[in-house]
Amino acid sequence: MSYLTKVEILAADDIVFEDVAVPEWGGSVRVKTLTGLERDSLEQSMLEGKGDRGKSQQVNMANFRAKLCGRTIVDENGKRVFGDLDIVDLGKKSGQALQRVFNVASRLSGFSDADIEDLTKNSGSSQSDDSGIA
């Protein structure tokens, strides 16, 4: 068996795109896989508080669907459609529409139910819909 080299790994075209019909919005959106850096950034954006090695941090799941959708909805060139400042407004859209996009974004980015459960199991923070957290 031969193993991949660094050059082969870094050259691999591993970002996947999928078009999702969103009838509530009158069309389709393109959803992409999160990169490792983007996924880490998303998970970090959900942490609140400070502490030694994260000991006093809590997970805030407020607007999680919109956060993931906003980071994975892209245009035909693969550029994000929504910036971080747009996430709150995106979260105010139809929950059914967001869930449809969220399901595809989660699958493409490797978020399992267990991953989401791990994120929430230590969450004691507010999950209010109007928190304004992006």
% of the chain surpassing 90 pLDDT = 67
* This prediction's pTM: 0.80
Q: Which tokens sit at 96?
A: 């059914």
6: its two tokens: 């660094």
* Confidence band, pLDDT 50/70/90 cuts, at residue 128: very low
User: Which CATH superfamily, name and number, covers 14-120?
Assistant: Phage tail assembly chaperone gp13-like (3.30.2220.20)
Give me the DSSP letters along 66-97.
HHHHHHHEE-TTS-BSS-GGGHHHHHTS-HHH
User: Exposed/middle/buried for 110, CB within 10 Å: 0-12, 13-18, 19+?
Assistant: exposed
* Residue 84: HSE in the Cβ half-sphere, 13 Å Cα cutoff: 7
Phi-psi region of 63 (alpha: psi -120 to 50; beta: other; left: phi over 0): left
Under the banding of pLDDT at 50, 70 and 90, the label for residue 31 is very high
What is the per-residue pLDDT across 67-109, written as a single tens digit (0 to 9) for each?
A: 999 999 999 999 999 999 999 999 999 999 999 999 999 999 9
Per DSSP, 48 falls in state: E
